[in-house]
Structure 1
Amino acid sequence: MEQKEVLVKVEGLSKKFCKDLKTSLWYGVKDLFSNVKGNKEERLLRDQEFWAVKDISFELRRGECLGLIGHNGAGKSTLLKILNGLINPDAGKVTVKGRVGALIELGAGFNPILTGRENVFNNGAILGFTRKEINDKLEEIIDFAEIREFIDMPVQNYSSGMKVRLGFAIAAQMEPDVLIIDEVLAVGDMGFKLKCFKTIDEILPKTAIIFVSHSMPQVSRLCSEIILLSNGKVNYQGDDVAKAIDLYYTQFANNETNIMFDDGSIILEKVELLDTNENSGDIPQIQWGRDLKLYFAFIIKKGITVPQFTINIFDKEQRPIAILEENKESSPLTLIDNKIKFIVTHRNLQLSKGIYFISIHVSQGKLKAPILRLNDILSFQILHEKDIWHPFLLSSEFKNFELKQDDSQNKGLKISET
């Protein structure tokens, strides 16, 4: 099979910034003179400087989608700005063929005092299209953006969702050779997001896409190649998207205890996740469908009876996902030598693939007066081959069946398994 042409080629790309403005200005003056003779120190760090991007290299062909992932400050936005020509690298080379469309910031590329219609013509001209070519696509852009009644209103009065709609409509309908998308699809309603992804599927064979997102299901769905950045450097690069996502989730683990409330009545002595995978690394791993078993040990400091323990599960974005039933009076926990030790079990865990965090709320009495609240006391990772949008992946069983008319007046239709 013949390989398609390379549209983006990045060779040894590096960019450094200075933490101090005054020092940065002084370095800038020095660099003006050194660049005349050739800057021999372009790859050396000076005082107060750091690498935002360091030695990045890759090739992207037509029909490929490269995912750029990493936590905040990893260097993704800096790399995209270099690729889009907004800033120059300190070292390395970027070669881009054809037209480049970029959605790298919310509303970037729009003149706020011009109308949406005028901004369509401005953006099209920047991409290299003639006025006639833009006119031919104008109605399709307006229809796709779903903002026809506001197209002649100044963009500064648009909501964030309207800006995303218009920006993506221009980029998609103009069909650039290279399309750069940076997190902007996180804004807007689900219906428009689905339409955007359908459009990406349609234009991908004719373009090369660089896609940045913190949504791993989106990355998993779209990307054929992936780069995981950490502190400006490549942590993983290749076509094993699932492996890169697992590494991304592992980096997210944070086991620091966060005390939200404590009246001194009770102390968490130990919490541990039981029956985890033997090859778990820094973060405990559980295969989807296994039992969730948590061991707790508390020390009672004041004369209180056995309290209620409420265990909450949060996702990596600290959104509440689930809550476990409290300890019941019918099977009371026992207080021995001022200690309470217990195991709480949830059978057949069906949380979808990803990182999750455990928080616990301890209360007492009918009014459930709080005595202790701890966030992120433990994190764990659910392993599964699929990344999905939803927090739960519920097990199911499919069987062939046929409907048969029963002669009985009472039973009506019955299902006969085959």
Structure 2
Amino acid sequence: MIVLRNLTKTFVVEGHRKTVLRSVNAVFPSGVSIGLLGRNGAGKSTLLQMIAGSLDVTSGEILTDGQISFPVGYAGSFHQDMTGAQNTRFTARIYGVDTQALMDYVEDFAELGPSFHLPVRTYSSGMRSRLAFGVSMGLDFDTYLIDEVTAVGDASFKKKSRRVFEERMERAGSLFVSHSLGMVEAMCQAGAVIENGRLHYYEDVKEAIAHHLRNLDV
């Protein structure tokens, strides 16, 4: 379970303050896949990064009783001058899992070929996302933070990613960001809509999608 309590996030850009989340209170239950919906810039990825602990909150707090993954589609998850293999090894040590087992899994899954042993800074955005997705799926979390990553790669890779994701969701939950409403409906049970700094949670993902479409005037 993840609890957001009076959560606020404000950015200051060139002297101007922009609040993307304003005193948000919500409970994301365990074992549920939740689609995060909202316009571009609404704060979806920002919320994932704060839940992961990679971005500080302005005020309020985030509480959890489970282990949460890093945002899978977030390129900043890895050290840019380390190779994909080195980043994988480092992550394995952080989470206390078998290093070689995770290395073997990620190298096979991410399909990076020789690039697995090159610095991450040489990767395209798609390669970074495949690496991040492979590392995340190779670890056991209670909640997976997924940010558009299943859209990466060719049809074969997308199919494989979705299959692995669905297998993980049989024993875990997720917070899932995607601009594909069809994918959100297919892969999530519940939904949350972020609009004007507020968050509305729906136990039925179809209700969340309907709310999001009203916001877009579709």
Please confirm whether the aligned pair reaches a TM-score higher than 0.5, indicating the same fold.
Answer: yes
Within 5 Å, which residues of 2 pair with 1:156-167? 156-167=121-132
1:200 aligns with 2:168: no
Partners of 1:105 and 1:168 in 2: CA distance: 7
Residue number in structure 1 paired with 2:119: 154
Partners of 1:108 and 1:20 in 2: CA distance: 23
Residue number in structure 2 paired with 1:64: 32
CA contact (8 A) 2:176 2:184 kept: yes
- Of Structure 1 and Structure 2, the greater helix share is in 2
List alignment gaps of at least 5 residues for structure 2. none
Residue number in structure 2 paired with 1:237: 201
1:91 aligns with 2:59: yes
CA contact (8 A) 1:109 1:123 kept: no
Quote the offset at 1:226 in angstroms: 0.8
1:246 aligns with 2:213: no
Quote the offset at 1:105 in angstroms: 4.4
CA contact (8 A) 2:37 2:194 kept: yes
Partners of 1:57 and 1:227 in 2: CA distance: 12
Within 5 Å, which residues of 2 pair with 1:11-410? 11-21=5-15, 48-103=16-71, 105-126=73-94, 128-130=95-97, 133-234=98-199, 236-253=200-217, 355=218
Partners of 1:74 and 1:151 in 2: CA distance: 34
TM-aligned CA distance change 1:19 to 1:155, over 3 Å = closer
TM-aligned CA distance change 1:122 to 1:239, over 3 Å = same
Quote the offset at 1:89 in angstroms: 2.2
CA contact (8 A) 1:100 1:177 kept: yes
Identity %: 29
> What residue identity is the alignment partner of 1:195?
K
Q: Provide TM-score, normalisation by structure 1.
A: 0.49
TM-aligned CA distance change 1:174 to 1:89, over 3 Å = same
Deviation readout 1:218-267 (Å, 9 max, x if unpaired): 11011111111112112x321222122122223223xxxxxxxxxxxxxx
SS for the counterpart of 1:209 is strand
Deviation readout 1:32-65 (Å, 9 max, x if unpaired): xxxxxxxxxxxxxxxx534210122222333211
User: Bigger radius of gyration, 1 or 2?
Assistant: 1
Partners of 2:11 and 2:68 in 1: CA distance: 25
TM-aligned CA distance change 1:159 to 1:209, over 3 Å = same
List alignment gaps of at least 5 residues for structure 1. 1-5, 22-47, 254-354, 356-418
Quote the offset at 1:103 in angstroms: 2.8
CA contact (8 A) 1:103 1:184 kept: no
Partners of 2:48 and 2:204 in 1: CA distance: 22
TM-aligned CA distance change 1:107 to 1:87, over 3 Å = closer
Partners of 1:50 and 1:158 in 2: CA distance: 32
CA contact (8 A) 2:49 2:70 kept: no
Between 1 and 2, higher relative CO (CA 8 Å, sep ≥ 6) is seen in 2
Q: Provide TM-score, normalisation by structure 2.
A: 0.89
